[in-house]
Structure formats: structure tokens, C-alpha cells
Structure 1
């Protein structure tokens, strides 16, 4: 942390871009440090922060959410990057290799050129169009089962058009729907949720009331486990519950997630 802060000050005090570039190059190992990668991996349960997939084949990358060297609009118009955030851990996101390569330097904003190193609030003023997975805007994203093989990222119903456009742009920049295996893996989670929802609904057919309650609780517990933050594609599971589960089941799942001790009792 101290080293990163010291390097950031050097960047801000550098006399020209050439000096800054040399400084970044000389210390590029800082954001590639295995300790940083392991820390980012642990705090998000070994999942890519953008796709929620657990990498098993390709590697994880430490992505600079706001690009450090140069930034590009959707039309590929380039502007200087956010060099002063190069060593700022708050600008790091854990990304699967394929998504990070797709993202590259794309970081479209509403007001290019507004952000300035000396004025932190200008980062908000520029109007990022790419959705940050660490902000509440991440809830603009939802998922939908579309056919026998795919579950795709999509915008939540009821959003304003500008928010819907941001979701579509984020999906395109990150390539969230372009990988067939990713789409199929999300579909598998969606289908597992549907199975639990069916089990909950089918409990009514049991003639014993106390057995009905037990079966419902088992089904709700299974759904809550799929929705837990440490599970792969937990946002897909939550989207399925929101769109497919009856109201009383949604409320029960929410209670189990909000009060983990109830989940243990249910076990």
C-alpha cells in the first residue's frame, strides 16, 4: 500500500508523459504480484468479477477498470488513460483472461477529457458508460434463459432507456454473451434453480402438511445456496428466483440469505 501511494505521487510529479511511461513500465510487477492476485481472488470467492465464472482453464488477470495507458470510446476515438490510477488498488478488478482481452482499453464515457488527476470527483462527473461490478449499477444487469443451450446477460426489466443502453454496451465491451461455454454454464445454474422451484411448488401435492413444510424448506434452502455470493453465477440464480419463483418462495430465499443462521438450521 505504501509503495503504491509513493509511486502514485511520483506519477503525479513526473515532468512529462515519457517519464510516467518509464515509471509505470519499471514497476509493472506491482499489479502482477501473486499476493495481490490471490487477495483479489479470495475476496470474490475465486470468481471473475465481471462474468462470475470460476476460471479453470485460462488465467485470471488484474484488470485496470479505468485503463492506465489510454482509453477509447466505442468508435475507437482515443484519449489519455487514467495514469494516476495505475497503482491504485481501488481501480483493480479480477477478470477472466478472455473477458479482459476483449475489454482492452475500451472505456467509453459521456464527457471524454473531464477526468483529472488533481480532482478525484471528476471521475464521477465524466459519466462512465461501462458498468462497474463493484457499484450498485451492477444490479442493472440480469439474465434470461433463451433456448436449450444458453442463458444470456440482459438488462433488468423496467430500466430507463439510458440504463438499458449501458447494460447493452457493457455486455458488448466485455463479451458477456459471446462465449458458448459461458452461456451454457449459466443455463445449467438457471435449470438447477428451476428444479428447486418445481420441488417447492410440488410440495403442495403431499397429503401431510408437516411434510409439505419440510419439502418447501429443503427446496428454498437449495435455492438460497445457489444464490449465495460464494457460488458460481450466483447472480444468474438470483435472476431466476426473481423471475420464476412465487412470491412466498422469493421471500423465504431472501430470509435465508439475509440470515445465514437460518440456512444452517435448515440443514
Structure 2
């Protein structure tokens, strides 16, 4: 997984923000769950609006924020990272009220492939502690979600490796026991390894990077000028694979870090 970077000075178009803020105020003014459900139900088109949807897509070069796939999984949805309706744990037991006050808050939105979003549904487990509340200021910052958020540095906790079934998501090397549990919960909740096509697409990137690393190594026996050219071309190809805009860049990075020499890593990431 790759962290999606949204600079602090950027926000969706102001006309969309104005509508969203008005609806959030209406939600906060509602006195019953039924009233809030009506507000959300009547205006659900707002988070699917192209003004915000296209703005979010541009932030990550039209990639799913959870998988880094560009139309390799399914159509794109605007996912509520914290579910707006009811929420449940991984076993889908013990449902609780959702984060209704975030229904029109773009900071709770994540671009997500349809099949990933359907799998995620309203599951949002916590590591421990209490859920945030609309009436408790700062409670979101104190909450401990198990589901890894692609807009945070925790995205690096999910890495990849090859096996007989393709390229699969795994905990990053060095992750402690608690973080490994979070990674495994995230893989399960959003189905990072359940789609054969997704595993295969990631495998293609991994194999290409592995081939570039091999080309770099095989250049050792070539004449000096050719050796320099072959290595430069391999490094250039790898740099393109790991750059922020590329599809499955986190897979490419994992391959270089796990299969490349220290010199190759320094040249790709330096």
C-alpha cells in the first residue's frame, strides 16, 4: 500500500464544500437517527458528485487508494473510510452506530474499487478502546482503528511478496505483532488477496521489476560502455515503476527492497 498524499492547502471545489458543510450542519441539528438517515439518504449523490470524485481521483493518478489498481479491479467508488451507517467488527457481529457526522466530510472519503468497497462494507474494527463520538471533540484522533488508512504513514505496514498464487499483500518486514494483526485484519476486511486478477496484475509488476534487477546484474560481464548503459536503463525502468503515479508502485518498491542489492536500492530510491 502507498500513502496517498494530500497537501494541507488543497481541498475539493468550494461550491461542493459549501453544500457539504450545509448538510453536515443539518445532520448535527437533527435530534433522532431517523432524521439523520433522511438527510443522508436524500443527499447521497453528493459524495458521488464528479466535483469531489474527480478531485479525489486526481490525488492518486486515478488509482484505487487501497490497491493502487487503475481499473484492474472494478469501477471506482467513493468509500467512507469510517462507515456512515452502522459499523461492525471483523466477524460482522455486535453492530454499533456509525460515523454519521462524517457522511459529507471529504476527509473521510477514499477512492476505492467497487469489489474492494463491497467487501469492506460497514466493517470497521478497532484495535482497542471506544469509538469516536460526534459530541466528543478530538475523539477521532484518539480512536485506534484496526483498518489501515491509506492516507497515513501506516500504509507502509502493508508490503507484498510472490508465491504460487501470485503477488500477495503481507505485513512489511519489521512490523511488530500488533501491526501485523492490523495488516492481517486489513487484508481480510478489504479482500486484498482474494481477487485472482488483482494478484496476477501485481505479479506482472513484480516480475518486470525482478527482470530489471537481473538485467542490471547481468551487465557485469559486458564492455564498460555497454555495462553503464544497461545498468542505467534498468535503473530508469525501476524508477518509473516505483514513482508515486505508477500503478502498483508499492509492489515495485517491495520487489526492489526484497530482491535488489543495497547498491541497486540506493540507485532506485536515492
What is the TM-score with the length of structure 1 in the denominator?
Answer: 0.91
Query: Structure 1 135/243 Cα, relative in aligned 2: closer, same or farther at 3 Å?
Result: same
Matched, 1:169 2:191: no
Out of 199, 205, 225, which is 2:240 matched to? 225
Deviation at 1:58, TM superposition (A): 3.1
Q: Distance in 2 between matches of 1:248 and 1:79?
A: 51
What's the CA shift string for 1:37-76, capped at 9, x where partnerless? 2222221111111111111573210000000011111232
| C-alpha contact 2:73 2:115 (8 A) present in aligned 1 | no
Out of 21, 26, 29, which is 2:37 matched to? 21
1:125-140 mapped onto 2 (5 Å cutoff): 125-140=142-157
Q: Distance in 2 between matches of 1:222 and 1:120?
A: 48
Matched residue, 2:53: 37
Tell me how large the CA RMSD over aligned residues is.
1.4
SS in 2 for 1:93: strand
Structure 1: give runs of 5+ residues left out of the alignment.
Answer: 256-267
Deviation at 1:220, TM superposition (A): 0.4
What's the CA shift string for 1:99-123, capped at 9, x where partnerless? 0000000000134643111334211
Matched, 1:110 2:124: no
Q: Distance in 2 between matches of 1:69 and 1:179?
A: 26
What's the CA shift string for 1:4-48, capped at 9, x where partnerless? 112111111211111111111111110011222222222111111
Q: Which of structure 1's runs of 4+ aligned residues deviate more than 4 A? A: none
Relative contact order (C-alpha < 8 Å, sep 6+): which is higher?
A: 2
Q: Distance in 2 between matches of 1:128 and 1:57?
A: 25
Matched, 1:152 2:171: no
Matched, 1:122 2:136: no
Matched residue, 2:14: none
Aligned length: 253
Q: Distance in 2 between matches of 1:50 and 1:238?
A: 16
Q: Distance in 2 between matches of 1:18 and 1:207?
A: 76
1:1-267 mapped onto 2 (5 Å cutoff): 1-55=17-71, 58-75=74-91, 76-111=93-128, 113-147=130-164, 149-208=165-224, 210-255=225-270
Structure 2: give runs of 5+ residues left out of the alignment.
Answer: 1-16
Q: Distance in 2 between matches of 1:114 and 1:185?
A: 36
| C-alpha contact 1:79 1:113 (8 A) present in aligned 2 | no
With 7-16 and 243-252 compared, the bigger mean Cα shift is at 7-16
